Copies of this chain bind each other. A is one copy, B any other.
Amino acid sequence: MAGSTFGRAFRITTWGESHGKGIGVVIDGCPAGLPLTEEDIQPYMDRRKPGQSRYATHRQESDSVLIMSGTFEGKTTGTPISLMIINTDQHSADYSALKDVYRPGHGDFTYDQKYGFRDYRGGGRSSGRETVGRVAAGAVACRLLREFGIEVMAWTSAIGPIRARTFDRDEIRKNPLCMPDAQAATRASAYLGRCMSEKNSAGGIIECRATGVMPGLGDPVFDKLDARLAQAIMSIGAVKGVEIGDGFAAAEHTGRDDNDGFTTDENGVIRPTSNHGGGMLAGISDGADIFLRCAVKATPSIAQAQNTVHTDGTPVRIEVRGRHDPVIVPRAVVVVESMTAIVLADALLTGTTARLDTVKRAWNR
């Protein structure tokens, strides 16, 4: 069944396969009057783009975004914003050897089971390339959030066992691993070098923070802010775990240690005194920074021999060739940022109808 649409008021629908004609996204529900040009979106595409370091695939995807509809004279019109990125530099021949084999850790088997056959070129719809549409939509969501003073930023907090121990915001964009700790980035680079020399791959952890979030975002009970974030982040391929605030550590805390109390700041505004909850309580934002973490598994495509089966069930040993990232974490950072922004933009819009007085204000009554 249809599963390529996400969001309720800021609603995105993505399409496209790794080796098809292109990748795209339709954003329906973005308010009219938002300044938006391709220049607002392209920087996000560039951050996701491969070929920027030796830890990313050398495929040369130009990933130029086109706004096909939904803007006029540099502003959104309220109608669907269709964004498209034409695929270039696909080497489909690379993949024909994998046509009849179920690669370990990939969706080959499950797609065949579900759909009866699959587009075996580069993973088709299950490819990481699917996230191009998410990032394009995320750029628009970020543009919208900026109008409300909300900024979203993600980074790599761990590569395999190497964890960032310090947080230098400026460092994030300086090293190719997007880590906020230059020393950790150096050690992670060495670790990745060893993985590559062993024809192996690595995973890692991404963290994301949103600042400037007003209290009141999130809709009980199934569309809680944390629930929607969890769906959004877990839906990114290779993500295996999501934490909000203290996350799994909270399981060991006592109530006294985990409770976020309240105080009144110098402007008379009530604010939480701590942030164990990750910026929300009962699934609704409380004005503290939104904070989440996710675990990304290692790239399943590795060049060392692995045991698996042909589609007919006979055993085979395969070495997955092609151009693959030894770690996808750094490129996934902007994807996590994008999905977080999309959830916040959606909650921002749905939040306008929470109260009779907000509806009246919107309608100038």
Contacts and interface: CB of A to CB of B under 8 A. Distances in A.
Given A4-B222, A251-B296, A286-B110, A234 B244 contact: yes
A80 B4 contact: yes
Interface in A181-224: 195, 200-205, 214-216, 218-224
A264 to B, nearest CB: 4
A17 B69 contact: yes
Contacts of A47: none
A138 interface: no
Interface stretch (A57-65, A164-172, A346-354): A346-354
A31 interface: yes
A299 interface: yes
B158 A251 contact: yes
A133 to B, nearest CB: 9
Nearest to A202: B254
A104 B259 contact: yes
Given A282-B126, A306-B261, A352 B352 contact: yes
Interface residues of A, number: 172
A362 B359 contact: yes
A89 B318 CA distance: 52
A282 B353 CA distance: 25
Nearest to A7: B2
B252 A160 contact: yes
Q: Which of A202, A233, A258, A299 has the most CB of B within 10 A?
A: A258
A10 B20 CA distance: 22
Contacts of A246: 240, 297
A66 B16 CA distance: 13
A11 B15 CA distance: 13
Nearest to A215: B113
A253 B9 CA distance: 38
The interface residues of chain A, by DSSP majority, are classed as mixed
A96 to B, nearest CB: 12
Contacts of A195: 254
Given A351-B363, A354-B1, A361-B364, A110 B240 contact: no
B227 A14 contact: no
B29 A353 contact: yes
Contacts of A97: none
Contact of A110 (B158, B231, B281, B362): B281
B116 A284 contact: no
Contacts of A248: 205, 240-241, 243, 248, 295
B250 A297 contact: yes
Contact of A281 (B105, B278, B285, B299): B105
A330 to B, nearest CB: 14
A95 interface: no
A223 B4 CA distance: 7
A245 B239 CA distance: 11
A53 interface: no
Shortest Cβ-Cβ A-B pairs, 4 listed: A107-B282, A3-B219, A3-B223, A2-B29
Given A32-B117, A104-B262, A352-B363, 9 more contacts: A75-B117, A78-B355, A105-B255, A110-B216, A113-B215, A116-B355, A221-B235, A240-B245, A358-B362
